[in-house]
Amino acid sequence: MFVRTILAAFFFISFCNGCVAQTAESPVAASDTAPVYKLDSGDKVRVTVYGEQSINGEYSVGPNGDIAFPLIGNVVAKGHTIDELNGMISQKLASGYLLDPRVTIEVLSYRPYYILGEVSRPGQYPYASALSVDQAIATAGGYTYRASKSKVFVRRAGGAEEEYKLEKGRPVWVNPGDTIRIGERYF
């Protein structure tokens, strides 16, 4: 009997430790922070190189994902963050063109996102950094009276449509190029 009690306690403790470890490793906190913005075709950036007025300017990310930059040619921007692009341009300028280049980059215009379904004004809207689905719905004039307010459907650029539950304090983040669909409630 004593051995059974010890074994039961051991399995219970092992089970509880597994639960704690699983909870600690689960990506709950990851969804609470906005995703890092990655550049793609259709974005427009301003590149400023300190002391080099002739190459400062506004550059669009072309259909192939590159920006054409003076002196160094095409630089791949697609899939990179602003900081990564900054490092690539700085490195290329430093390798034979400028001594210690100081580069700053800012996004002037983002790719749009789309919202349709049970909102007052469905359509295309300009993306803003750290945009949540709730904010996108507010931008589109809010829900209609038939809207389901418990879930939303999001199709990421180039992906399949996925369903997300709308929970208070758990934002669903919007990426540029996303299509958000607000479904109709049944009752």
- Split into its structural domains, the chain has a count of 2
Angstrom CA distances, 31 to 66, 68, 109, 117, 187, stand at 30, 35, 25, 24, 30
If asked whether residues 173 and 144 sit together in one domain, one would say yes
- Which residue range is the domain that position 50 belongs to? 44-109
Amino acid found at 91: Q
Query: pLDDT, tens digit, for every residue of 120-161?
Result: 999 999 998 889 999 999 999 999 999 999 999 999 977 899
Q: What is the DSSP letter of 121?
A: S
Q: Which of 109, 136, 163 is the last residue of a domain?
A: 109
pLDDT at 109 over 80: yes
Domain co-membership, 132 together with 79: no
Q: Are residues 105 and 149 in the same domain?
A: no
Determine the longest span between alpha carbons in the chain, in angstroms.
Answer: 86
127: nearest Cα among 80, 165, 167, 180: 180
Residue finishing a domain among 109, 144, 163: 109
Find all residues with CB under 8 Å of 150, minimum gap 6, and list them. Answer: 165, 166, 185
Range of weakest confidence among 6-10, 35-39, 64-68, 152-156: 6-10
CB–CB of 42/108 below 8 Å?
Answer: no
How far apart CA 187 and CA 174 sit, in angstroms, is 27
Q: Tell me, what CATH number does 170's domain have?
A: 3.10.560.10
Q: Check residue 168 and give its pLDDT.
A: 87
Same domain, 116 and 84: no
Q: By the 8 A CB rule, do 95 and 87 touch?
A: no
pLDDT, tens digit, for every residue of 40-99?
A: 998 999 999 999 999 999 999 999 999 999 999 999 999 999 999 999 999 999 998 999
Question: With 0-12 CB in 10 A as exposed, 13-18 as middle and 19+ as buried, what is 181?
Answer: middle
Judgement on whether residues 141 and 86 belong to the same structural domain of the protein: no
